[in-house]
Structure 1
């Protein structure tokens, strides 16, 4: 197992912001020319997400170098996360406080090593929301990313078109604590 340090950030400090942007630029390099994936679009989303309730990021470091991250925040009934769904979800889903996992990424040399799962699980470890939701591009990695999330306990529940520039995404949900 790779020895990595996991650091929690409940505020977007300058160092945390710089690390998140650096990792994102590396992880999404092949897509940065697309409007939704452009670095300026990411930094605008990051700054907005960091100002929302319950923001938290976990950044993984290997020998002091940032290698991966996951971040999200708490959403509730009526949040735009829920209202952008193609089909309305039942109130017993949307009324629950939910951790919306907004971003997760790991640099290429650490992919397939379990680092993404460790960062993900560390983010969830201190949360109290009863469920977690995320959106994934079903074409990412030729479907491998969606399949990976399924092995982590997520279930596809809807489709989303978050913005005109974004690709269609699949919304997934899982309970925070799995039985």
Structure 2
């Protein structure tokens, strides 16, 4: 293992095959305290990852420190009428849904690299690959005692509504911002 002081290299991928194991390894460490809950289990994440990886516009940014994977951010394009929007209440206005939007589906950074700007760098590198007008994400408002929600607000996101993507999922806050 390498230290958080290592230089971080970001790599973008549009296919999962060669890096799926790296993403799952980082996820398992990042979400370790939650893995006992069905929605956060590694198998449930793997199923979501595979589904998202097969969807249009999939992009993944992995952060490596000396070839050791330390973080990931990924998402894909969603269209008007997508189930993402159908589960959002209140229903978003056409301003956000009439054109394709990029949905940041997951972002995670190993503990030793938190607070180093790695998450923001991955987020920004992910958005730099996009040409959609808006980016959206969902956050558990309780994550980090509200700190994660506040972090996304500091990145320019604002609350749009709520969603419960599955019966096993907590109610999440849907956030949105311009891509550029």
Please classify the TM superposition score into its range, dividing by the shorter chain length. Answer: over 0.9
User: Which residue of the partner structure matches residue 160 of structure 1?
Assistant: 163
**In 2, Cα distance between equivalents of 1:170 and 1:2:** 34
User: Which residue of the partner structure matches residue 140 of structure 1?
Assistant: 143
**In 1, Cα distance between equivalents of 2:141 and 2:171:** 8
2:45 is aligned with 1:42: yes
**In 1, Cα distance between equivalents of 2:21 and 2:77:** 23
CA deviation after TM superposition for structure 1 residue 86, in Å: 2.1
2:82 is aligned with 1:79: yes
2:111 is aligned with 1:108: yes
Contact map agreement 1:2 1:113 (CA 8 A) in 2: no
**In 2, Cα distance between equivalents of 1:96 and 1:171:** 17
**In 1, Cα distance between equivalents of 2:59 and 2:129:** 10
**In 2, Cα distance between equivalents of 1:64 and 1:8:** 14
Runs of 4+ residues deviating >6 angstroms: none
CA deviation after TM superposition for structure 1 residue 89, in Å: 1.1
Contact map agreement 1:86 1:161 (CA 8 A) in 2: no
**In 1, Cα distance between equivalents of 2:172 and 2:145:** 14
**In 1, Cα distance between equivalents of 2:97 and 2:6:** 37
Contact map agreement 2:8 2:66 (CA 8 A) in 1: yes
Equivalent pairs counted in the alignment come to 176
User: Which residue of the partner structure matches residue 8 of structure 2?
Assistant: 4
User: Which residue of the partner structure matches residue 126 of structure 1?
Assistant: 129
CA deviation after TM superposition for structure 1 residue 2, in Å: 5.4
TM-score by length of 1: 0.96
RMSD: 0.9
Please give the per-residue CA displacement for 1:80-132, whole angstroms capped at 9, x wherever unaligned. Answer: 10000121111121112111000000000000110100011011112101110
Partner residue of 2:59 out of 56, 59, 78:
56
**In 1, Cα distance between equivalents of 2:155 and 2:59:** 20
Q: 1:3-42 counterparts in 2 under 5 A?
A: 3-13=7-17, 15-42=18-45
TM-score by length of 2: 0.96
